[in-house]
Amino acid sequence: MIRTLLTLAALSVGVVAAQSAQLDALKVQTQFKNIALSDLRSGGPPPNGIPPLGFAGDSGPLPDTSAVKFESVKEAAGWLTPREPVILVTVGGRSGIFPMQVLLWHEIANVTLGNVPLAVTFCPLCNTALVADRRIPIGPEQRTRLKGTPQANASSVLVTFGVSGLLYKSDLVMFDSVTHSLWYQAIGRGLVGPLEGAELRVYPSLIVPFEEAAWAAPRALVLSKETGYDRPYGRNPYVGYDNAAEPPFLYDGPVDGRLPPKERVVTVTAGDARAAYPFTLLSKLGVVNDRVGDVPLTVFWASGTTSALGSAALRDGRDVGAGVVFDRRVGGRTLTFGRVDGSFRDRETGSTWTLTGQATAGALKGQTLKPVVHANHFWFAWAAYAPQTRIYTAR
């Protein structure tokens, strides 16, 4: 399928025409922008042709989409296999589990979790997940652009997000339902439209296997595959896309040769400091203790998570592992972690920790590490955004 898409994308005249049609359909106010419009590419489908879940309140011609349904962990265990990748997020005291086998077909789920309005997003082309607040802060510049609208005097605006059908640096471009501004999914920043320059509040989330998420949050709400759409959930429409020999889709920017383009990396930003931790190195080390900016952090890696982008069926995907990031400070003390007998253990107290950051034995049993906002990307996608990123190397 990817080869077919690449062949179609090579027809540049058609791509340009589709991009123009998508911008027209969205009625984007293109006078407000921080990128060249020519940097936007049509991914093929029209706006919401890949239907986001829970899209509502559109001020233009696009109809609402099916609302999200949740089910229990026990119910989800009937169709999710233990090693399948899911996004685990806890906000407002409530945990949610979002299976990749559903997000592959919808890319955005507009939900409310713990009374917090969220957009849970996944871009298959960049392997990038982002969980963000749907209440967009309105600054003075955006307020001026919104003059004459109900949002002009507001400090924030509540939106749902749709799938524009456009790509930026091969990444999903979202649009909001109120102003139709375009958003760079990988970092949650407005690109074009009245909300250009605004930034979404991003919440920490973990990509882990379903069995780990279910153990860590047994009362979590799980995104149901009963979406109202006829899709072959559990099947991968991007077979072989994580093959390093395949070029990124519709990406013609510079390639940072320090790592292969589709090397999986865990990335962290703290202020102006950025770091990337390659999965190939993490798989050898198991644990990294590092500092990014002022944040002492640890990166846990464990095998047992299948790729969502390899085999035709997610349950048959190759094991690519899971990389997650936590703050190393617990109770005023900075811990140092290692991998011992297949589990994570801190040097200072000898406590044992899970992949999801919970202490199950030792002096700190019952404590939970604070997750740090991080992401799993293909290297090309992150390097296109942050070329000055420091790549962690074993000392």
| Sole residue written with tokens 């058609």 | 14
| Dist. CA 371–CA 90, nearest whole Å | 10
Model pLDDT for residues 305-350, shown as the tens digit of each residue: 999 999 999 999 999 999 999 999 999 999 999 999 889 999 999 9
Q: Which residues of 371-393 are buried (b: 16+ CB within 10 A; e: fewer)?
A: bbbbbbbbbbbbbbbbeebebbe
State residue 14's pLDDT score. 57
Contact 379, 260 (CB under 8 A): yes
| Dist. CA 348–CA 336, nearest whole Å | 7
State residue 60's pLDDT score. 75
| Dist. CA 45–CA 34, nearest whole Å | 24
Given strand 161-168, what is the order of strands in its sheet? 40-42, 161-168, 171-176, 182-184, 189-192
Model pLDDT for residues 343-387, shown as the tens digit of each residue: 999 999 999 999 999 999 999 999 999 999 999 999 999 999 999
User: pLDDT under 70 in the chain at which residues?
Assistant: 1-16, 245
Contact 385, 186 (CB under 8 A): yes
Given strand 108-113, what is the order of strands in its sheet? 108-113, 116-123, 128-133
Secondary structure of the chain as H, E, C letters:
CHHHHHHHHCCHHHHHHHHHHHHHHHCCCCCCECCCHHHEEECCCCCCCCCCECCCCCCCCCCCCCCCCEECHHHHCCCCCCCCEEEEEEECCEEEEEEHHHHHHHCEEEEEECCEEEEEEEECCCCEEEEEECEEECCHHHHHHCCCCCCCCCCEEECCEEEEEEEECCEEEEEECCCCCEEECCCCEEEECCCCCCECCECCCEEEEHHHHHHHCCCCEEECCCCCCCCCCCECCCCCCCCCCCCCCCCCCCCCCCCCCCCEEEEEEECCEEEEEEHHHHHHHCEEEEEECCEEEEEEEECCCECCCCCCEHHHCCECCEEEEEECEECCEECCEEEECCEEEECCCCCEECCCCEEEECCCCCCECCECCEEEEEHHHHHHHCCCCEECCCC
